[in-house]
Amino acid sequence: MVIRIASAVLTLAGLLALISGSLFWMGLALNLMTLHMLLGFLAVAALWTIGLAQAIVNGGSWVIAGCAVLVGTLTIILGFYQSSLMIGALHWIIELTHLILGILTIGLGHMGAARYRRSRSA
Owning domain of residue 34: 2-121
118 — pLDDT class (breaks 50, 70, 90): confident
- Residue 108's alpha-carbon distances to 7, 28, 31, 91, 98, in angstroms, are 11, 28, 29, 26, 15
In terms of Cα–Cα distance, which of 74, 99, 97, 76 is closest to 86? 97
Q: How many domains does the chain have?
A: 1
- What is the per-residue pLDDT across 14-71, written as a single tens digit (0 to 9) for each? 999 999 999 988 888 889 899 999 999 999 999 999 999 999 988 888 999 999 999 9
122 — pLDDT class (breaks 50, 70, 90): low
Q: What is the pTM of this model?
A: 0.91
